[in-house]
């Protein structure tokens, strides 16, 4: 039980750092709305998202996996300075995940060393060694998955600004379908999870983690899948129980964002109308709204 608690807490922390990386770089790049939305924090509640925090863990549980929660931040890409900053914002999440992975590896090395582990109680070492072994494997697996260049993953977000505009618009419209395809493929096309799992095991082997320790820790963690899923559901419900003042503040922020989007759409429509005098074009109205909002 202690091992499962440590794994879920460490996973949530690494997920928060991933999303904080996105928000922090977006803020540096000019999108100050991330601060208004409360994303510049390590509070996991700020990053709760119905799809990644609630639906995804339950789906993973039903498909036989472990229900680890995800998260998301909403980035207004129209406020970023240029497409370099858009790519950098997408890259920031995996980079922070890589830092977490390195941290897990260092921590495992400490507790795997007889000289270092002697400084800690034996029961602590027995809990942390297998927990860190599984965290290294999981962090590597998800990092590889997230770098696949397919919407709406970060791998696509890195290259998207450099793609033709019509491809960008199509990707934004069908991003959720792409994510569903990736998830289903992971369970229906064995070679995909086998390949990513092999890379994850390569990293654990390189880190000195025995394969049996990862497998046994994974098996033990799965025994607590149902309580973890229940905890996620309860936390999500409590998070959405907001006071009237909070609901009014969020409604005001949403109205301001919609007003900004209408203004941006009007500007783009005017620019497109002007360009039609020179060359026949297809004005982008709704598409421009979708382009300026990215969830990563």
Residues identified as active-site? 19
| 47 contacts 39 by C-beta, under 8 angstroms | yes
β-strand 293-295 against 74-76: which pairing, if any? antiparallel
| 34 contacts 40 by C-beta, under 8 angstroms | yes
Structure tokens that stand for 102 in this block: 């390195």
Q: What does the H/E/C string look like for the chain?
A: CHHHHHHHHHHHHHHHHHHHHHHHHHHHCCCCHHHHCCCCCCCHHHHCCHHHHHHHHHHHHHCCCCCCCCCCCEEEHHHCCCHHHHHHHHHHHHHHHHHHHHHHHHHHHHHHCHHHHCCCCHHHHHHHHHHHHHHHHHHHHHHHHHCCCCCCCHHHHHHHHHCCHHHHHHHHHCHHHHHHHHHHHHHHCCHHHHHHHHHHHHHHHHCCCCHHHHHHHHHHHHCCHHHHHHHHHHHHHHHCCCCHHHHHHHHHHHHHHHHHHHHHHHHHHHHHHHHCCCCCCCCCCHHHHHHCEEEC
Beta bridge partners of 74: 295
Q: Is the dihedral of CA 140, 142, 146, 148 positive or negative?
A: positive
Length in residues, the chain:
296
């Amino acid at each position: 039980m202690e091992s499962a608690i440590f794994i879920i807490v460490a996973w949530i922390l690494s997920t928060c750092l991933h999303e904080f990386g996105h928000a922090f770089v977006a803020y540096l790049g000019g999108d100050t709305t991330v601060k208004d939305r409360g994303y510049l924090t390590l509070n996991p509640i700020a990053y709760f998202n119905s799809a990644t925090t609630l639906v995804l863990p339950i789906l993973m549980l039903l498909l036989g996996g472990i229900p680890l929660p995800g998260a998301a931040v909403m980035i207004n890409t129209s406020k970023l300075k240029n497409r370099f900053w858009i790519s950098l914002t997408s890259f920031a999440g995996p980079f922070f995940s890589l830092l977490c992975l390195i941290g897990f590896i260092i921590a495992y090395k400490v507790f795997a060393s007889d000289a270092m582990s002697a400084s800690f109680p034996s029961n602590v070492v027995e809990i942390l060694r297998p927990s860190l072994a599984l965290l290294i494997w999981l962090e590597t697996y998800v990092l590889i998955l997230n770098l696949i260049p397919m919407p709406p993953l970060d791998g696509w977000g890195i290259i998207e600004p450099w793609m033709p505009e019509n491809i960008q618009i199509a990707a934004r419209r069908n991003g959720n379908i792409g994510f569903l395809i990736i998830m289903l493929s992971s369970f229906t096309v064995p070679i995909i999870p086998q390949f990513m799992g092999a890379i994850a095991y390569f990293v654990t082997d390189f880190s000195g983690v025995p394969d049996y320790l990862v497998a046994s820790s994974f098996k033990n963690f799965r025994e607590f899948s149902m309580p973890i899923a229940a905890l996620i559901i309860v936390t999500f419900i409590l998070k959405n129980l907001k006071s009237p003042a909070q609901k009014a503040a969020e409604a005001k922020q949403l109205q301001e964002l919609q007003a900004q989007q209408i203004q941006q759409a009007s500007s783009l429509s005017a620019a497109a109308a002007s360009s039609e005098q020179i060359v026949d074009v297809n004005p982008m109205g709704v598409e421009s709204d979708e382009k300026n909002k990215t969830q990563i």
